[in-house]
Amino acid sequence: MGLIFLGYLQKKFMNQASKIKIEYGDFQTPLELAEKICHKLISLNISPNVIFEPTCGIGNFIKASTTLFKLTNKIIGLEINPNYLEAISKDEKLSKNKKIHITQEDFFSFDDEETAYKTFEMLISPLAIDFYSSLIFWDEKRPIKTSILNSLDLSILSEQLSAYS
Name the CA radius of gyration of the chain, rounded.
16
In this prediction, residue 67 has a pLDDT band, given cuts at 50, 70 and 90, of: very high
pLDDT in tens, 76-88: 888 888 899 999 9
Residue 26 in this model has a pLDDT that exceeds 90: no
What would the mean pLDDT of 144-162 be, rounded to a whole number?
Answer: 66
* pTM score, whole prediction: 0.55
Of residues 74, 81, 73, the one with CA closest to residue 56: 81
In this prediction, residue 153 has a pLDDT band, given cuts at 50, 70 and 90, of: low
pLDDT in tens, 126-143: 877 777 776 666 666 666
Of residues 43, 29, 44, the one with CA closest to residue 79: 29
In this prediction, residue 20 has a pLDDT band, given cuts at 50, 70 and 90, of: very low
| Nearest-angstrom CA–CA distance, 152 and 154 | 6
**Neighbour count for residue 121 (Cβ, 10 Å):** 12
Of residues 97, 40, 131, the one with CA closest to residue 6: 40
Fold of 1-109: Rossmann fold (3.40.50)
| Nearest-angstrom CA–CA distance, 90 and 83 | 11
Which residue ranges make up each domain of the chain?
1-109, 111-165
Which CB contacts under 8 angstroms, 24+ apart, belong to 43-50? 46/1, 46/4, 47/71, 47/72, 48/1, 48/2, 48/3, 48/4, 48/72, 49/2, 49/3, 49/73, 49/74, 50/2, 50/3, 50/74, 50/75, 50/76
